[in-house]
Amino acid sequence: MTDAPVIDADALRSHAQEIATGRLLKARGLLAVVAPDVRLAIEQAAHAVAAGVAECLLQEAAKNTVVAGAVVASDQD
């Protein structure tokens, strides 16, 4: 039996949040025209989606070594 790749779950979650933050920074000009409460809601939604994607990847990786390998390989790039 082959050992499953070890995934650093905290690093994956952190990376997902960094991506969300980066995308929000790129969109700051567009977000500047919306009301502050709407901007906050958009930011919270973006971070929630990022967290959800990370959790989904972790769950799928726990069930599928091919997914786990892909997650580990993408972390090494």
User: For the segment 13-59, what is each residue's pLDDT rounded down to a tens digit?
Assistant: 999 999 999 999 999 999 999 999 999 999 999 999 999 999 999 99
- Give the burial class of 6: count Cβ atoms within 10 A of its Cβ; 0-12 exposed, 13-18 middle, 19 or more buried: exposed
Strand locations in the chain (E): none
| pLDDT recorded at residue 5 | 76
Cα–Cα distance between 25 and 46 in angstroms, integer? Answer: 12
| pLDDT recorded at residue 72 | 87
| pLDDT recorded at residue 74 | 77
